[in-house]
Amino acid sequence: MPVIHVELWEGRPQSVRDALAEELTAVVLKHLPIPPEAVTLIFTEVAKADWYVAGKPS
C-alpha cells in the first residue's frame, strides 16, 4: 500500500517526526479506504551541507 518517503534536514526531534507521521497518515486515510497499518512512512535525514537548491547549498 502507500509508502511515503520524507527527506528532511537532520536533527529534528522524535516528537516532530511522530507528529508528522500521524498527520500524513491521517491525510492518506482521508482519501483511501485502507487501514492505518497499510500506510508506511520512511524518514531520511540529510545533513544540511548535503542539501542543495538551485545548484547552491542551503
Q: What is the CATH number of the domain that holds 21?
A: 3.30.429.10
The 10s digit of each residue's pLDDT in 1-57 is: 899 999 999 999 999 999 999 999 999 999 999 999 999 999 999 999 999 999 999
Give the domain extent around 20: 3-57
Q: Considering its fold, how many domains does the chain have in total?
A: 1
**3 state DSSP class of 7:** strand
pLDDT for residue 58 is more than 90: no
Which residues is 4 bridged to in the sheet?
41
Q: Are 42 and 17 contacting, i.e. CB atoms less than 8 angstroms apart?
A: no
Residue ranges of alpha helices (H) inside the chain are 14-31
Eight-class DSSP state of 2: -
